[in-house]
Chain A
Amino acid sequence: MTESHTLKAPSVVAKRQRRANQRRTLFYIALIVVGLVAPFLAYPVFLMKILCFALFACAFNLLLGYAGLLSFGHAAFLATGGYVTGYLLASYPGLTPELGIIAGTLVATLLGVLFGVLSIRRQGIYFAMVTLALAQLMFFVFIQAPFTGGEDGLHGVPRGNLFGFISLSNNLTMYYFVFAVFLFGYALIQRTVHSPFGQVLKAIRENEPRAISLGYNVDAYKLVAFVISAALAGLAGSTKTVVFQLASLTDAHWHMSGEVILMTLLGGVGTLLGPIMGAGLVVSLQHILSQSPLGNWVSVMLGLIFVVCVLSFRSGIVGELGNMYRKNFK
């Protein structure tokens, strides 16, 4: 009955939707092409480090950018994934790397459920503080538990053979595996964000009381987002351990939780490309500075970036570029 009346509007919406989809497809293709070509232009191990941290930052961004929850304890998941995978691969030589990674991710997921249940009802600063405290407890566990090697860390993790027959000892092979893992994690985040579930998350972030009054079980939605984020952070940690063949307390320290915030903030909170760029920039900065005479100034530089970002660059690089694009070309 009202068909003729509303026909035009959906077609416009559909057109816009289609254009957005096209843009997104183009973006994915570009991302994949860049990823495939990159190891021929730069040192693959360095790129793998960026990919692992990019995945970590994307996972973190899912929570901060789409659910509005600032976790100050995400290092715990990164380290848990890393330690579990490292321990299993080092102690059971028959285990293939993908199984080790899956196991590490699973344990990180379980930890995510536990942390989530304990912290999800708190908001804002309290949420940040509870996650920080829980991560500190995990740090203690990692120092005390016999299987982590304590302060010495876990060393000599074999890269092994993927599916039992593809040797990962070659950096290029390893790189493509890591890239595949990254794409998997990234696609999962994309899927989550653009699903109805993701829409509800955004609604909660924007106006929680309204979401409650609409009948959504807000805590359950937040918990699921938290667990997905923890699982992917664990996946990043597990993969990182296979690449570098070690797991250490550096990954569990609260400074790591601070670093991932920096990466996300710098690249752009709540954007899909931002965390990747943020991770790339921070890792490159550390890498370049550590081997230069300015090596000792790394933490000062990171601090400056933090301050500048917060003061005048709050949407991050990607966010600011997006704003500029919208202002000037639309």
Chain B
Amino acid sequence: MTMIFGVPMAVFMGQLTLGLVNGAFYALLSLGLAVIFGLLKIVNFAHGAQYMLGAFAALLGFRYLGINYWLALILVPLVIGGLGMLVERFLLRRIAHLDHLYGLLLTFGLALIFEGTLVNFFGVSGARYATPEILQGGLNLGFMFLPTYRAWVLVAALTMCLFTWFMIERTRLGAYLRAGTENSQLMQAFGVNVPLLITLTYGFGVGLAAFAGVLAAPLYPVSPTMGSSLLIVVFAVVVIGGMGSILGAILTGLGMGIIEGLTKVYYPEAANTVIFLVMILVLMLRPAGLFGKEA
């Protein structure tokens, strides 16, 4: 067997593939954060909780309303995104004129509320969400057995990332959005309804988190704490990529997934920590992150 750095080739390739799958998750989540930060300048600490709400909505929707996976994939982001818009309209807007740190603290409080409430009703053990019929089973890639569902996650997450990137960088709506980031007063003067744009953006970012939540539901146990452990990792990804940079978030997400995957082979104990190490190193060398613009 061919060996790479003391590990069989097949295992190495397998880990790369799995790293890519996890990376697609990170990309999707950090993309939402980056979009929100880009326009609202809010560090959305509730992002993990919103991801968790997405998974729960899928689970409960199936249990009580019989909504299947495919429908949930469309409906849940809309519902949770709508909830996000309410949060923006009635809470975040009231502190928009203040230091951005207040936004961080407010969303941190919201995350505690969402999580704590669900813990009381569902405990933390986690429930299972069945993998949809067609995506069961697996693919033999030669070097590994890849469950079909994980392959689907990779495809779906990347498609969503590309779609978002295209919308922001290549469409008129996206142009408004970017312009709003640069100078919202001027945009307002041109007759663009900036407050509405902001509400929609926040809702969209939250919707992305909820979409990731639905994707995650069949993979991991659905529990109220599933978001909080992921949250700070995703933050690190956004910071490394450069806060507010769309492309940065996507590429860094994928990259970090791979780095984490390889750490799991060579020094598994540090798998949860390696991203923070990377983050510190990057910020020492490039204070605005890999893809961020120097302020």
Contacts and interface: CB of A to CB of B under 8 A. Distances in A.
Given A137-B277, A300-B113, A303-B112, A132 B235 contact: yes
A321 to B, nearest CB: 21
A177 interface: no
A121 B287 CA distance: 9
A57 to B, nearest CB: 15
Contacts of B287: 121-122, 126
Nearest to B278: A133
Is chain A's interface secondary structure helix, strand, loop, or mixed overall?
helix
Contact of A314 (B102, B115, B284): B102
Nearest to A125: B43
Given A130-B283, A311-B94, A254 B232 contact: yes
A136 interface: yes
Contacts of A48: none
Contact of A137 (B119, B120, B280): B280
A188 interface: no
A321 B116 CA distance: 30
Nearest to A308: B109
Contact of A129 (B102, B119, B239, B284): B239
Nearest to B277: A137
A70 interface: yes
A271 to B, nearest CB: 17
Given A121-B287, A132-B232, A311-B91, A303 B113 contact: yes
B91 A307 contact: yes
A125 B244 CA distance: 12
Interface stretch (B11-19, B130-138, B172-180, B266-274): B266-274
Contacts of A70: 101
B108 A126 contact: no
Given A121-B287, A122-B287, A129-B239, A310 B109 contact: yes
Nearest to B233: A136
Interface string A110-135: 00000000100110111011101110
Nearest to A143: B269
Given A137-B273, A296-B120, A306 B232 contact: no
A137 B276 contact: yes
Contacts of A122: 283, 287
B119 A296 contact: yes
Interface in B65-110: 91, 94-95, 98-102, 104-106, 108-110
A149 to B, nearest CB: 16
A306 B49 CA distance: 16
Interface residues of B, number: 40
Given A118-B280, A136-B232, A306 B243 contact: no
Interface string B196-216: 000000000000000000000
Given A124-B100, A130-B283, A307 B113 contact: yes
A124 to B, nearest CB: 7
B280 to A, nearest CB: 5
A136 B273 contact: yes
Contact of A298 (B95, B98, B106, B116): B116
A125 B113 contact: no
B247 interface: no
B108 A258 contact: yes
A302 B235 contact: no
A188 B279 CA distance: 34
A310 B108 CA distance: 11
Nearest to B119: A296
A307 B104 contact: no
Interface residues of A, number: 38
Given A126-B239, A296-B119, A297-B116, A307 B232 contact: no
B100 A125 contact: yes
Given A129-B279, A136-B232, A307 B270 contact: no
A143 B273 CA distance: 11
Interface in B12-52: 43
A170 B275 CA distance: 46
Contact of B273 (A125, A140, A261): A140
A76 to B, nearest CB: 12
A263 to B, nearest CB: 12
A139 B272 CA distance: 10
A303 to B, nearest CB: 3
Interface in B249-295: 269-270, 272-273, 276-277, 279-280, 283-284, 287
Contacts of A126: 239, 243, 283, 287
A135 to B, nearest CB: 9
Contacts of A118: 280, 284
Interface of A: 70, 118, 121-122, 124-126, 128-130, 132-134, 136-137, 139-140, 143-144, 254, 258, 261, 265, 296-300, 302-307, 309-311, 314
Given A125-B43, A299-B113, 10 more contacts: A125-B101, A128-B101, A129-B239, A130-B280, A299-B112, A300-B117, A303-B112, A303-B116, A306-B112, A309-B109
Interface of B: 43, 91, 94-95, 98-102, 104-106, 108-117, 119-120, 232, 235-236, 239, 243, 269-270, 272-273, 276-277, 279-280, 283-284, 287
26 contacts: A70-B101, A118-B280, A122-B283, A124-B100, A125-B101, A125-B104, A126-B243, A126-B287, A129-B236, A133-B239, A133-B280, A143-B269, A254-B232, A261-B105, A299-B116, A303-B109, A303-B114, A303-B116, A304-B109, A305-B109, A306-B105, A306-B108, A307-B110, A310-B102, A310-B105, A314-B102
Nearest first, the 4 A-B pairs at minimum CB distance are: A306-B109, A303-B112, A300-B116, A303-B113
